Amino acid sequence: MRQKKKRIAWLYWIPVAILIAVFAFSSFHALRIYLLQRREQNSFAKLREELPPEEWDAPSDAFVNRYKSVMDKNGDFACWLKIPDTSIDYPVMKTSEDDPEYYLRRGFDKKYSFAGCLFIGGGCNLDSDSFIIYGHNMDTDTMFGELDRYADPDYALKHRLIRIGTPTENRRYRVFAAFQTKIYAANANVFKYYERIGALDEPTYFDTVANIRSMSIINLADAPRYPAQLLFLSTCSYHTKDGRFVVAAYRVDTE
């Protein structure tokens, strides 16, 4: 009888031990990710601190060297993206067409990074008629973790301005739409925004804008006019498998 009780007690503690081990491993993994992300965000904060004060309305020659220190550290730097009054304030990278997603899981220092970097997608660049910037939707609201807040019309209205600083000029973009969609869609009729990048002729441009506006979950009064450059900010969305949340904007000369 005593041996039977010992056997029952042993069988009871096996699943308990397994649960404790799983919990410990999960906690360790979560702590590791947290510390890694914290280190990554500290490195971005240091980059920001090294930048000279912003002079968005200054002549070109006043800020041509603003990003020199960033470029000296990493030649893949393409531009700096900032949405005022949000946490989105990061360098944007651009690599060769052979490996356009190089920074998907690499930090600015090119080492493994859970959050990666913001990067310009393949098939386009800063001078394209339409280009796309990708970033992870982090639950810590870092990188593009705040992007899906544009689903709120009030938030979108208050954060329509997007600033992009390049090594040669400062740019302003105005948000005109935000939408949820998915990639790898089997339905051929699903609008593939990620294919409307690079060079766009006038009919394709208008078709792109019309599709985006029809998909938008917010209603903003104005829309881009050809040939105003288009910008897509794209991140993961969890409303469906392979979901994406996209903010669309167009270049403007003034705020």
CATH code of residue 196: 2.40.260.10
Is residue 160 domain-shared with residue 223, that is, in the same domain? yes
Give the per-residue pLDDT at 58. 56
Lowest mean pLDDT among 25-29, 72-76, 241-245: 25-29
- What is the band of 63 on the pLDDT scale with cuts at 50, 70, 90? low
Polymer length of the chain = 255
Q: How large a percentage of the chain has pLDDT more than 90?
A: 60
pLDDT bracket for residue 68 (50, 70, 90): confident
- Please indicate, yes or no, whether residues 65 and 31 belong to a single structural domain of this protein: no
Total tally of structural domains belonging to the chain: 2
pTM of the predicted model, to two decimals?
Answer: 0.84
Claim to verify: residue 180 and residue 230 sit in the same structural domain: yes
Lowest mean pLDDT among 2-6, 26-30, 123-127, 161-165: 26-30
Q: Is residue 129 domain-resident? A: yes
Domain of 10, in residue numbers: 1-50
Residue 74 lies in a domain: yes
Indicate whether 55 belongs to any domain: no
157 in any annotated domain:
yes
Asked if 110 and 5 sit in the same domain, the reply is: no
Q: CA–CA separation, 114 vs 253, rounded Å? A: 36
Is residue 12 located within the same domain as residue 120?
no
Q: Are residues 86 and 125 in the same domain?
A: yes
Q: Is residue 237 part of a domain?
A: yes
The structure tokens listed for 178 are 């935000």
Instruction: Give yes or no: residues 115 and 170 share one domain.
Output: yes
198 and 124 Cβ atoms separated by less than 8 Å: yes
What mean pLDDT, rounded, does the chain reach?
85
Examine the domain organization and report whether 115 and 145 are in the same domain: yes
Band of residue 190 on the pLDDT scale cut at 50, 70, 90 = confident
Structural domain contains residue 144:
yes
Q: Is the pLDDT of residue 40 over 80?
A: no
Please classify residue 8 by burial: count the beta carbons closer than 10 Å to its beta carbon, then call 0-12 exposed, 13-18 middle and 19+ buried. Answer: exposed
Residues 12, 109 within the same domain: no
Give the pLDDT confidence score for residue 51 in this predicted structure: 82
Q: What is the pLDDT of residues 7-17, one digit of tens each?
A: 555 555 566 55
Same domain, 16 and 102: no
194 pLDDT more than 90:
yes
Q: What is the mean pLDDT of residues 215-236?
A: 95
| pLDDT value at residue 28 | 44
User: How much is the pLDDT for 71?
Assistant: 92
> Is 139 in the same domain as 181?
yes
Say if residue 37 is in the same domain as residue 79. Answer: no
**Domain membership flag for residue 1:** yes
**Is 76 inside a domain boundary?**
yes
Give residue 31's pLDDT. Answer: 46
